[in-house]
Each structure stands twice: as structure tokens, then as C-alpha cells.
Chains A and B, each alone.
Chain A
Amino acid sequence: MPIRKNSDDLTYADVTPKSVYLSRRQLLRAMGIAGATLVGYKLFNRIAYPAATVKAGAKLNVTVKSPFSTTEKENSFDDVTHYNNFYEFGTDKSDPSRNARNFLTSPWTVSVEGEVRKPAKYSMDDILKLAPLEERIYRHRCVEGWSIVVPWIGYSLNTILKLSEPTEKAKYVAFQSYYQRSQMPLADRSGIELPYVEGLRLDEAMHPLTLLCVGMYGETLPNQDGAPVRMVIPWKYGFKSIKSIVKIKLVKGEPPTTWNIYAPREYGFYSNVNPNVDHPRWSQATERRLGEFLRRKTLMFNGYEDQVASLYNGMDLKKYY
């Protein structure tokens, strides 16, 4: 039983004024909400960022910090290596980290060919020495509506394209991934035609943001992230950034691209990140940055509008999605 004062001892002055008890209630409520939010936030972070366990790649000698880098918070190495779309190694996001473990990426050759005066075959050693390696922290937005921030390593694709001296007929660049069924037993279930192929218009490919990527987080690329060499085109949906490249071919006409072959209405050749043009099945207006609870607004050209919008002057982006 609570101890009570004899009610006769109380006067009107003892009554707590309404404003006081109301503000007390508000305070308690605010404390409750703040507490719950804090607990929820901490809990979420604990679940979202568990301790990392991935075998280390080889350290890369990065000499240039790129001015193209964003200052946004990087995602953890663990996120970027355990949440992958790499259908050759399974269609679940957690599949590639398991199934690409024994993927052989050495020796490796990348052929640059087609409408060029100097076709060439490069070994990985050649590629690593063609230009100083830069670290570029890019936003990466998947067509599925999630995004990450990754410190990639590489240099602009135009370095290697210029060396090959494209002819006047070269208007597009076609890329092809490595494909070997014996190394990729789950590939048959991917539902897409393999080998994976992608493409860019030549001016897109020559744009300095377009990265030929050989590493991330200071090291060579993990297998599940497209070892040993991949593209990163930060203003386009992630599937344009083809992985494990073996062929770069300069061509006259728009080359076929894997997801466009699979569903032409859903995945266009350009596939620029655009919050105003929805995927037929879902909105592209927002995205979930991995590690965040609520969705955030998607930026035009994934935030690279200033650099790349001029490539598409006069183009109807709803038509050329």
C-alpha cells in the first residue's frame, strides 16, 4: 500500500498544477520514445554489422585519392562481400560468397579488340601497371532498390581504350564476362543467358567516371565481387557494371546486353539511375542503403548528374531507359 498523507493535511496549494503534470507526462513519453529509438538503433546496427570474416586479398598500391570520391560513409567490407548479385554463382545474395570461393582467376587475360587499330591481350599484371591505381569511393545503386558505398580501386576505362586506338567506326563498347560451366555449377539455374554481356556507348565508356576496377578496400577484388577485373559505372544500375571481364570489343552498333535480352521492357540498354523512371514492377524513387532502416531518396544519375547529364542532352530518358 502506498503511504498516504492524511487528506485533511492537504490544501489546494498541494495540487500539482495541470501544466506541470502535463509536461511531466510529455517528458516521460519523450524519454520513452527516445529510449526505444536508441535501443532499436543499436540493435539494428548489431544485426546489420556483424564481425567480418573474409580471407584477405593481395594489397594494392594505391597512389591516387580520386577527386570523384564521395565523402559518404562507406559500407563495411562484410556487407559488400556477402550481399552480391553474381548469377553465375547462384541467384541468392548470399550464394556468391560461398560458391565463388574456388573460382580460378589466374592466369587471366583481357582481350581488347574489334574496331581498334591496336588490338591487344592484357594479362592482369599488364592491367595493374597500365596506369597509377586510384581509390574511388562511389555510390552503387542496384536496380532492385538497394545501394552501397564502396571504395573501389582502378583507373578510368578510357586509359586502356585510348591505348587500343579506336577507329572512326567504333561507336559502342561491348563487354563480356568469363563463363565456364564447370566452375559455375549454379549458372544453369540463373535464368539468364550466359556468358554475361554488357555495353556502353563510346562516349559513356570514355567518361572519366567510368572505372576499370581491379580492387576494393585497399585489396584485389574478392571473387564474389567480380575478380579479377570488372567495370564500375556509378551513374547506372549495378547490373551494367559487368564482372570478371575477359573481352572488351569496340563495335559499330548497340551491342546486346544480358538483362535487356532477358526482359527488354524492364532493363534498357542505358539503365541510368533515374528516380523518375520506374521499373515496370517497382518504383525507383527510393532505395535502401545497406545498414539503414528507412529508405532514402534516389538521386538523379545516382548523384552524378553534374558530371554525366550532358551525355544525354536532348534524349528522352523515359524512352531510353
Chain B
Amino acid sequence: MRDFLRKILISKWSKVVVFLLCLSPFVYLAWPLIAFLAWQVEPRRFGANPVEYVQHFTGDWTLRFLLITLSVTPLRKLLNVPDLIRFRRMLGLFAFFYVCLHFLTYIWPDQNFDLHGMWKDVAKRPFVTVGFLGFVLLIPLAITSSKGWIRRLGGNRWQNLHRLIYISGLCGVLHYYWLVKSNHRLPLLYAAILAVLLLYRLGTSLLKPRPQPSPAAAAVQR
């Protein structure tokens, strides 16, 4: 069974499948536009406030991909399937992809590319501040996601840098929590999952203080 799973995970098609799965929310979003442009088909409705719909949709998927990316390491260890590491960069980059779309819905229809207005908003509103911070922190991670950058920075430094995703995740959850008016179930659910994923890391680092070869270095060797 394990061998079978491993075979699937390391096959070259698995990455393609995961890529397409990760892209599917975007396809769902872009589909109405594509269908309309290609065949003049009436697009499906995104409700009375499509801008807000796209905003929430891209925000939701950013958070989901952040949590999925953060669960790769615990799952590798708990389920003993180290090959999951193959997908971590892609998952992280998809989180970045969706946060870029999310940011675009803010800077374009909300702010009309008014950078001055944007800065005022970022400085004044805690919920925008944390959201923006979470986004900005992901930029260096996306840039240094390549194998070349892992080599240049060295595994440990690279890994330390990429721990920024913890802060980014916290920012994202807080951003969501502060946005919601009264029904906090969903933001609290995301917060709980994030807490479990971060506490797992805290636990393992406290239990095993001795230095370990970083999975990033392992990924380079592969």
C-alpha cells in the first residue's frame, strides 16, 4: 500500500494533477469570462456584488492554500510520506497566486489604483494592515522559491526566511476575523487549523532540540 502510494506521489503525472487541482478554483472564477469571450455564453452569476464575490473567493483560497502548504510538513512526518515535499513549493506558489488576485481586487475596483488612498487605508485600518502585511511577507518567499535560491541562501538560512509563512498565515486569519461582522465560525475554524499546524511545529522543535538536515536541502538533492 505504502509503495503504491509512493509510486503515485513520485510519478511525473502527480505534479500535473496537483497543479490542475490547484488551478481549478481559478478556472471556476475565470470560466464565465472565458465562456463569454469564446462563445458569447451567458456567464453564471456571481451574485449581486460580483466584485465582492471575487474578493472573498480569492481571499478564501489564499487562506486555504496557506493552510494546505503549512500542513505538508506535519503530514509528511505523521503519515511518513516524505515525498509530499515535492508539492510544497507549488502549493505555496498557488497561495501567492491567489493572494495576488486578491490584492488586485483591492487595488483596482476598491482603490482604482490610487496608491495614496491605498497607503492611507493600509496605515489606518488594522484589518487592511494585517492583510497587506501578510501579502507583502509572501513576496520574498515567492521570489526565493526556486532551487537556485535555496542553493544561494543555503538550506538553513532559506528555511529561516521561509518561516515568514507562519506570520503570513497569522495575518491572513486575523485579516479575515476582523473583517467579519458577527458570525465568526469560519474565521475561527481557519484560526484553529492554523493553531494546530503551528503548535505541531512548536512541539516538535521543543521535543527535538538537536539540529536536523532541513527538508529544503533534501529537496535540492533530490
B32 near A47 (CB under 8 angstroms)?
Answer: yes
For B83, list chain A residues within 8 Å (CB): none
Q: Which of A161-202 contact B (CB under 8 A)?
A: 189-192
With A46-B42, A191-B183 as given contacts, are A83 and B112 in contact (CB-CB < 8 Å)? Answer: no
Query: What class of interface size applies to chain A in its complex with B?
Result: 20 to 34
Q: Which of A54-81 contact B (CB under 8 A)?
A: 75, 78-80
B-binding segment of A2-10, A86-94, A304-312: A86-94
Number of A-B contacts (CB under 8 A): 76
CB 8 Å contact bits of A263-291 with B (1 = contact, 0 = none):
00000000000000010011100001011
For B110, list chain A residues within 8 Å (CB): 295
| B77 interfacial by beta-carbon distance below 8 Å | no
A82 near B125 (CB under 8 angstroms)?
Answer: no
Q: Which of B186-204 contact A (CB under 8 A)?
A: none
Among A144, A189, A295, the residue within 8 A (CB) of B112 is A295
Shortest beta-carbon distance from B121 to chain A in Å: 7
A-binding segment of B46-54, B88-96, B133-141, B158-166: B46-54
Give Cα distance in the complex from A79 to B46, angstroms.
11
Give Cα distance in the complex from A281 to B175, angstroms.
11
With A91-B183, A144-B181 as given contacts, are A293 and B51 in contact (CB-CB < 8 Å)? Answer: yes
> Chain A interface mostly helix, strand, loop or mixed?
loop
Shortest beta-carbon distance from A268 to chain B in Å: 15
Give Cα distance in the complex from A296 to B181, angstroms.
22
A294 near B109 (CB under 8 angstroms)?
Answer: yes
A43 near B125 (CB under 8 angstroms)?
Answer: no
| B98 interfacial by beta-carbon distance below 8 Å | no
Considering the complex, give the chain B residue whose CB is closest to the CB of A51: B42
Q: Hey, which bits of chain A sit against chain B, CB under 8 A? A: 39, 43-44, 46-48, 50, 75, 78-80, 82-83, 87, 91, 93-94, 144, 146, 189-192, 262, 278, 281-283, 288, 290-291, 293-295
- With A46-B43, A192-B182 given, name 9 new contacts (CB 8 A): A47-B32, A78-B48, A91-B181, A191-B181, A191-B184, A262-B182, A281-B126, A281-B178, A290-B48
Question: Can you show 23 pairs from A to B with CB atoms below 8 A apart?
Answer: A43-B36, A47-B32, A48-B48, A48-B50, A50-B42, A50-B44, A75-B48, A83-B47, A83-B49, A91-B182, A189-B183, A190-B182, A191-B184, A192-B182, A281-B125, A282-B127, A283-B121, A288-B51, A288-B52, A291-B48, A294-B112, A295-B109, A295-B112
